[in-house]
Amino acid sequence: MKAYRFEEKNVVAGDTLENSRVWDGDQPTDDELPGVCAFETKEQAEKYAQYSHDLGRIVEIAGEKVGTGLDLVGEVIISNAVVTAVYAW
């Protein structure tokens, strides 16, 4: 499955992303999700990125959809996520 996410780290096509963490309020916990949180569409990732004050980029990833997120509309969890494209933000 192809998905999109806002990424603060400097990544390039071919990079593998680390699994996302469970958050408690504004703090990440030690609990790891079974994949990377992302969005089904680039537009959803761009909308989410509007609220970030950090410099980052929108990345397209490919992997296996293993679930849906509980926090945001359109959020999916992608296992074995590999960056396939990077878009300036």
> Buried (b) or exposed (e) across 16-26, using 16+ Cβ within 10 A?
ebeebeeeeee
- Helices marked H in 19-81: 42-49
Using a 10 angstrom Cβ sphere, with 0-12 exposed, 13-18 middle and 19 or more buried, the burial of residue 35 is buried
The pair of three-digit structure tokens given for residue 74, joined into one six-digit string? 């359109």
Express as a percent the part of the chain with pLDDT over 70.
99
Q: For position 23, what pLDDT does the model report? A: 85
Q: Whole-prediction pTM value?
A: 0.89
Instruction: Please give the domain boundaries of the chain with CATH numbers for all domains.
Output: 2-88 (3.20.170)
Convert the pLDDT of each residue in 14-42 to its tens digit: 999 999 998 888 898 999 999 999 999 99
Reported as a pLDDT band with limits 50, 70 and 90, residue 53 is: low
